[in-house]
Amino acid sequence: MHTQSGKIILLEGIHEAADELLAGTGLEIQRIQGSPDAARLKEYASEADVLCIRSRTQIDHSVLEAANRLCAIGCFCIGTNQVDLKIAAEHGIAVFNAPFSNTRSVAELTLAELVMLLRRIPQRNADMHSGQWRKSASGSHEVRGRTLGIVGYGHIGTQLSVLAEALGMRVIYHDIIAKLPIGNANPARDLESLLSESDVVSLHVPATQATRNMIGERELGQMKQGGFLINNARGNVVDLDALAAALDSGQVGGAALDVFPEEPKSGDAKFTTPLAGRTNVLLTPHIGGNTLEAQAAIAREVGSKLNRFLLEGATGTAVNLPNVDLPSRGPGQHRILHFHRNVPGVLGRMHTALAGLNVNINAEFLQSSGDLSYVILDVDPIEIETVHEELSKIPETIRIRTII
Q: Which positions are catalytic?
A: 234, 263, 286
Nearest approach, Cβ of residue 161 and ligand NAI (Å): 11
Residue 92's closest CA among 318, 346, 256? 318
Nearest approach, Cβ of residue 193 and ligand NAI (Å): 13
Nearest approach, Cβ of residue 294 and ligand NAI (Å): 8
Nearest approach, Cβ of residue 173 and ligand NAI (Å): 9
Nearest approach, Cβ of residue 210 and ligand NAI (Å): 4
Nearest approach, Cβ of residue 125 and ligand NAI (Å): 21
Binding site for ligand NAI (CB under 6 A): 78, 100, 102-103, 106, 151-157, 174-177, 204-208, 210-211, 232-234, 258-259, 286, 288-289
How many Cβ atoms from other residues are within 10 Å of residue 217's Cβ? Answer: 15
Q: Which residues pair with 171 in a beta bridge?
A: 148
CA 248, CA 401: separation in Å to the nearest integer?
Answer: 62
Rounded to 10°, the helix 155-166/103-118 angle is 50
- Output 40 or 212, the one with its CB closest to ligand NAI: 212
Give the residue nearest to ligand NAI (CB): 154
User: Do the Cβ atoms of 195 and 219 come closer than 8 Å?
Assistant: yes
Q: How many residues does the chain have?
A: 404
- Output 78 or 353, the one with its CB closest to ligand NAI: 78
Nearest approach, Cβ of residue 116 and ligand NAI (Å): 16
- Output 25 or 161, the one with its CB closest to ligand NAI: 161
Angle at 344 between CA 342 and CA 345, to 5 degrees: 115
